[in-house]
């Protein structure tokens, strides 16, 4: 277990007392979390943070709130160095099934995103650079239906990166993938976070091992019990369920899954989940 030298700077995303109800049913309750810009000497080090939660706990709702697609019933979401209220388009959001515009070629899919942020000529240059970086250049004339699962994932991530302000949210990025594909997604995430100091990847997942292996911070969504032992409605993040993996010496390791401390930590998380269920 090695702790790499690092420091924290300004916040890039803040969840402040976020609660969400649907038809008077509380789904999320008083969620507080802050993602800070992390720095490491002599390198670009973006952030990878994980929100872990069991299936059906409200992770996708939390994603939509963080992406600015729905306002929370209570609380605020502030994004960027200026900490502005989240609006659609400020946070790139890659949904579970990696949607792309099926009526546009891969090149056009990326261009339509890049043109949201850049002038047409600059947008084209950005698209060409991203096609190269994400190993998609040979497929630029293909329609999404012709892309493989991995190519589609890379394209969806590239599309969101081209027009978002450094923040990208991945909803269940490892769901239903085989080992090779998971490695591919992990490689892309690491690549994205080293592209720019401010790039931040937020993983919302129920895959505890892969999420923990990539993240430098982890928040665990779960239920709390009241004094009588009854379940309090609405998933939340308890203070004891916020983990700074960078300070625990579990972040930025090449093969962290093989380290005994990692295994112990994952076991601890699993126990916490069992207790809060």
Partner 1 sequence: MKTLFAPNAQPPRLLFTTMVAGQVALLLLVWLFYPMQLFPSLGEVFRSLGDLITTQGLIQELWASMTTALQALAIATVLALGISYLTALPFFRPIAYAASKMRYLTLTGLTFFMALMVSSGHQVKLSVLIFGATVYLVTGMTSVILTTTQEEMDHARTLGMGEWRSFWEVVVLGKLDEMLEVVRQNFAIIWTMITLVETLYQSEGGIGLLLYKQNRYLHLDGVLAIQLVILATGAAQDYVFVLLRRVFFPYSSLGTA
**Binding interface with partner 1 (CB under 8 A):** 64, 67, 69, 88-93, 95, 97, 99-103, 112-113, 116-117, 143-146, 159-160, 163-164
- Shortest separation between residue 102's beta carbon and partner 1, angstroms: 6
Q: Which two tokens stand for residue 262?
A: 């990692």
Q: How far is the CB of 166 from partner 1 (least distance, A)?
A: 14
Q: Least distance from C-beta 87 to partner 1, angstroms?
A: 9
Q: Which is nearer to partner 1, 38 or 63 (CB)?
A: 63
- Of residues 147, 107, 98, the one with CA closest to residue 129: 107
Q: Closest CB to partner 1 among 44 and 116? A: 116
CB 98 within 8 A of CB 156: yes
Nearer to partner 1, 71 or 249 (CB): 71
Instruction: For the CB of residue 172, give the shortest distance to partner 1 in the complex, in Å.
Output: 13
Closer to partner 1 at the Cβ: 102 or 254?
Answer: 102
Report the greatest alpha carbon distance in the chain. 64
C-beta of 90 vs 203, nearer to partner 1: 90
Cα(92)–Cα(238) distance, integer angstroms: 27
Q: What is the number of other CB atoms lying within 10 angstroms of the CB of residue 251?
A: 26
For 101, residues 6+ apart whose C-beta sits below 8 A from its C-beta are 108, 109, 112, 144
Q: Strand ranges (DSSP E) for the chain? A: 7-22, 25-39, 47-52, 74-79, 84-85, 92-94, 167-171, 200-205, 217-220, 242-244
Min dist. Cβ of residue 230 to partner 1 (A): 33
């Amino acid at each position: 277990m090695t702790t790499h030298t690092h420091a924290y700077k300004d916040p890039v995303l803040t969840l402040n007392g976020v609660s969400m109800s649907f038809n008077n049913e509380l789904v999320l309750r008083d969620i507080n979390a802050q993602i800070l810009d992390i720095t490491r000497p002599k390198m670009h080090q973006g952030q990878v943070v994980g929100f872990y939660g069991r299936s059906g706990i409200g992770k996708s709702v939390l994603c939509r709130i963080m992406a600015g697609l729905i306002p929370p019933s209570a609380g605020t979401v502030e994004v960027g160095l200026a900490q502005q209220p989240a609006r659609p388009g400020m946070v790139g959001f890659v949904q579970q099934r990696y949607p792309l515009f099926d009526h546009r070629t891969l090149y056009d899919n990326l261009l339509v995103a890049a043109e949201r942020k850049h002038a047409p000529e600059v947008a084209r240059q950005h698209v060409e650079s991203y096609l190269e970086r994400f190993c998609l250049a040979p497929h630029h004339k293909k329609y999404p239906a012709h892309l493989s699962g991995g190519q589609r994932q890379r394209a969806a991530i590239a599309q969101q990166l081209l027009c978002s302000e450094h923040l990208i949210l991945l909803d269940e990025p490892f769901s239903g993938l085989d080992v090779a594909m998971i490695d591919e997604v992990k490689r892309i995430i690491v690549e994205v976070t080293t592209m720019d100091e401010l790039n931040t990847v937020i993983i919302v997942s129920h895959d505890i091992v892969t999420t923990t292996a990539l993240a430098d911070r982890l928040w665990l969504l779960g239920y709390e019990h009241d004094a009588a032992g009854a379940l309090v409605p609405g998933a939340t993040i308890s203070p004891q369920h916020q983990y700074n993996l960078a300070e625990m010496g579990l972040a930025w390791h090449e093969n962290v899954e093989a380290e005994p401390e990692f295994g112990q930590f994952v076991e601890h998380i699993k126990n916490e989940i069992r207790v809060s269920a």
